């Protein structure tokens, strides 16, 4: 795992030394992604500069140093990630007589040899792994950027102009781009609107104008002669879903369990490849426990596992994880974190996440990554099990709700919705209180008005996608909150990925795999882990597992009301069902209570009305209303955390320094 950075200058530089100084500065900004080694390279003809920070995982020798040249000298690469089948690719090249004289056993060298043998796209299509890289073809004078199929590794890029500088910038994090003098830093108000809706900025957008995220499964090629970019999709999650549904697995459910176990075991075995200490996150839930069980079944010594515990019972999964670890015989480490320790992470969040990001589970994710890094350099995780095997309860809830309301005429439903919203939530609440004595206690609900308004939004939906968007949204009209903001189209707001044969649940699973997974879950894990120089790997995102999962009938994923049935069957071969049958708690912290208590002064400062007006990004009125309602006891923390994370990030951009990895490693948890 590493960090990459670079640029192509659009104007003549004063000297070669000036360009090297720029790329060194860009690389230094992401030192936390690669504290073990660094390197820079400039093309002798074109003003192209490549920078690299290395976290040594495979081949710790100087043979793994980057930027790395192919044996032919044609290609020069900076690479972030792992190619898990690189030894198999070497064997194929050797059998075809195309292998070079290997200098070492780094997977980066294998990738370059594949480019010489088969070309860039063909090599990437054969690779199993997670990666983001930039490679310069010295013969064709083409720069190619690439990102892995599911979006595990990040890559930003874009043309920027400031003063006499004009350059095409790229890097693993926005920190690297900000370090170049051409960087403009104009905030994209449309992206800010998207943040308020989703709690993340979805690809291809970034928080900055002119800077994009390379979408998963894509190659972007550019020649400095034309400066035009060409985007090619070499793998599509939509096509994988469509092909899986069109060519379903037709053997018995028991054979599906066998096939999945064998495939997952192979994915886990490949991802245990490392020349440094390796472990796994363990929550005690189905997804992470399955990964750890398959790791332990293929390991000659106890696997190192890590869990974070909380003293608040409703947030604590550590006891379950400890029981699982004891059963599997892992070398388990747990750390109980106080609210004060967890809250001490909050000032670091703008530096950690680099662009506004407001999934509050970012806090425990960082804490468990920090804990693991004290013992290992690589950690496997159980992310993506829910998206692939129908694990989220919201899938069933949304589908059931849609089936019930869709039977009514849309015009009548919209009329009913209009009637409900014509009365304010406060008036509904007053009416409910006035008749509460006439209603059985079991049928009394708090905040009736809010629930009726939420229900009205549901009634007015004209499709399951529209319903799902409303249930997945935080602010439902974010452009009305962001001054000058107009919400650009995103996958959840445009019908661009229709697949024949998907039912409503499968449709939601696909949308999550294409949006929530890469733009929320994987961002959260990558930034938290790389902040402390920890590599994370996700076996469920081996693309062979993804494609197989889509071929499985829904009846083996959702069976008799039980989610993830086929995955549960794999797990029960290794762990008793009783150990993992408890309901999922999620991975959260009590943000709502903190905002009313110890974080109140911090939040009040960031949400100050005069400050909001002065900065000019938000209309203060709806935000202050949300804040006052939250202080009055209504749960508004999700709306507020979106705004607070932007405000905190904005404050950080005004002059705070980025926090070095060694400080982050020692901070927060003593």
Annotated binding site for L-glutamine: 107
SS3 17: helix
Q: Catalytic site residue 146?
A: no
Q: How far apart are CA 429 and CA 39, in angstroms?
A: 63
Binding residues for ATP: 308, 381-382
Reading the block at residue 182, the tokens are 């051409």
* Pair 34, 3: CB distance under 8 Å: yes
Catalytic residue among 2, 146, 218, 390: 2
Closest CA to 574 of 307, 263, 292: 292
* Pair 41, 76: CB distance under 8 Å: yes
* Pair 203, 519: CB distance under 8 Å: yes
Q: How far apart are CA 365 and CA 138, in angstroms?
A: 41
Binding residues: 107, 308, 381-382
* Pair 241, 548: CB distance under 8 Å: no
* DSSP conformational letter for 569: H
* Pair 515, 521: CB distance under 8 Å: no
Which H helix or E strand runs over 412? helix 410-421
Q: How far apart are CA 207 and CA 187, in angstroms?
A: 6
Q: How far apart are CA 75 and CA 225, in angstroms?
A: 18
Q: How far apart are CA 526 and CA 32, in angstroms?
A: 12
* Pair 587, 383: CB distance under 8 Å: no
Closest CA to 615 of 658, 657, 639, 648: 648
Measured distance between the N- and C-terminal CA atoms of the chain, rounded to whole angstroms: 26
Interhelix angle 504-514/464-472, nearest 10 degrees: 50
Residue written as token pair 């500069």: 49
What are residue 83's DSSP bridge partners?
A: 129
Q: How far apart are CA 216 and CA 519, in angstroms?
A: 10
**How many helices and strands, by DSSP H and E, does the chain display?**
32, 17
Q: CB-hemisphere CA count at 13 Å for 260?
A: 33
Reading the block at residue 275, the tokens are 């020349």
What are residue 6's DSSP bridge partners?
A: 50, 170
* DSSP conformational letter for 540: G
Q: What is the DSSP string of 613-624?
A: HHHTSB-HHHHH
- Catalytic residues, which ones? 2
């Amino acid at each position: 795992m590493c960090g990459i950075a670079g640029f192509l200058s659009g104007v003549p530089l004063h000297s070669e030394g000036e360009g090297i100084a720029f790329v060194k500065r860009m690389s230094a900004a992401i030192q936390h992604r690669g504290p073990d080694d660094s390197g820079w390279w400039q093309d002798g003809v074109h003003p192209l500069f490549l920078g690299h920070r290395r976290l040594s995982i495979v081949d710790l020798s100087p043979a793994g140093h980057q930027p790395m040249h192919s044996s032919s000298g044609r290609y020069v690469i900076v690479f972030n990630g792992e190619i898990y089948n690189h030894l198999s690719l070497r064997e194929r090249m050797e059998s075809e007589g195309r292998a070079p004289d290997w200098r070492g056993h780094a997977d980066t060298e294998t990738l370059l040899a594949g480019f010489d043998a088969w070309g860039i796209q063909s090599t990437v299509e054969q690779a199993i792994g997670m990666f983001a890289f930039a490679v310069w073809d010295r013969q064709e004078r083409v720069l190619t950027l690439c990102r892995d199929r599911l979006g595990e590794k990040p890559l930003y890029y874009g043309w920027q102009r400031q003063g006499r500088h004009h350059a095409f910038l790229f890097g693993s994090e926005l920190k690297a781009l900000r370090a170049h003098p051409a960087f403009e830093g104009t905030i994209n108000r449309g992206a800010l609107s998207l943040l308020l809706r989703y709690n993340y900025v979805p690809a291809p957008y970034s928080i900055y104008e002119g800077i994009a995220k390379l979408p998963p499964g894509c190659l972007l090629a550019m020649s400095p002669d034309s400066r035009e970019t060409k985007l090619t999709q070499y793998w599509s999650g939509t096509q994988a879903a469509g092909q899986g549904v069109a060519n379903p697995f037709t053997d018995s459910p028991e054979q599906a369990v066998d096939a999945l176990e064998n495939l997952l075991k192979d994915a886990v075995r490949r991802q245990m490849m490392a020349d440094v200490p390796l472990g796994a996150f363990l929550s005690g839930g189905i997804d992470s426990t399955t990964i750890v069980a398959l790791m332990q079944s293929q390991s000659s010594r106890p696997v190192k596992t890590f869990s974070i515990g909380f003293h608040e019972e409703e947030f604590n999964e550590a006891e379950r994880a400890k029981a699982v670890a004891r059963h599997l015989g892992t070398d388990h480490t747990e750390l109980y974190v106080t609210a004060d320790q967890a809250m001490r992470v909050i000032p670091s969040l703008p530096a950690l996440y680099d662009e506004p990001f407001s999934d509050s589970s970012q806090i425990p994710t960082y804490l468990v990554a920090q804990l693991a890094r004290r013992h290992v350099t690589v950690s496997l995780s159980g992310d993506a099990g829910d998206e692939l095997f129908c694990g989220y309860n919201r899938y069933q809830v949304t589908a059931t709700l849609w089936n019930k309301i869709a039977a009514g005429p849309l015009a009548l439903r919209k009329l009913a919705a209009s009637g409900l919203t014509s009365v304010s939530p406060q008036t509904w609440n007053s009416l409910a209180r006035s008749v509460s004595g006439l209603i059985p206690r079991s049928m009394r609900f708090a905040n009736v008005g809010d629930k009726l308004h939420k229900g009205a939004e549901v009634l007015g939906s004209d499709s399951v996608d529209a319903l799902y968007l409303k249930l997945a949204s935080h602010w439902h009209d974010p452009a009305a909150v962001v001054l000058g903001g107009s919400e650009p189209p995103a996958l959840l707001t445009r019908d661009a990925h229709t697949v024949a044969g998907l039912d409503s649940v499968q449709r939601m699973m696909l949308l999550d795999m294409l949006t929530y997974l890469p733009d929320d879950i994987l961002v959260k894990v990558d930034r938290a882990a790389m902040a402390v120089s920890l590599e994370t790997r996700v076996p469920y995102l081996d693309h062979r597992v993804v494609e197989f999962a889509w071929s499985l009938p829904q009846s083996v994923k959702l069976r008799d009301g039980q989610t993830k049935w086929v995955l549960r069957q794999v797990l029960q071969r290794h762990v008793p069902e009783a150990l993992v049958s408890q309901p999922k708690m999620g991975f959260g912290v009590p943000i709502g209570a903190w905002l009313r208590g110890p974080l109140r002064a911090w939040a009040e400062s960031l949400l100050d009305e005069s400050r909001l007006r002065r900065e000019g990004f938000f209309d203060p009125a709806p935000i202050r209303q949300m804040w006052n309602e939250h202080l009055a006891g209504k749960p508004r923390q999700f709306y507020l955390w979106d705004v607070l994370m932007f405000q905190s990030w904005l404050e950080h951009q005004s002059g705070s320094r980025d926090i070095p990895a060694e400080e982050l490693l020692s901070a927060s948890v003593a």
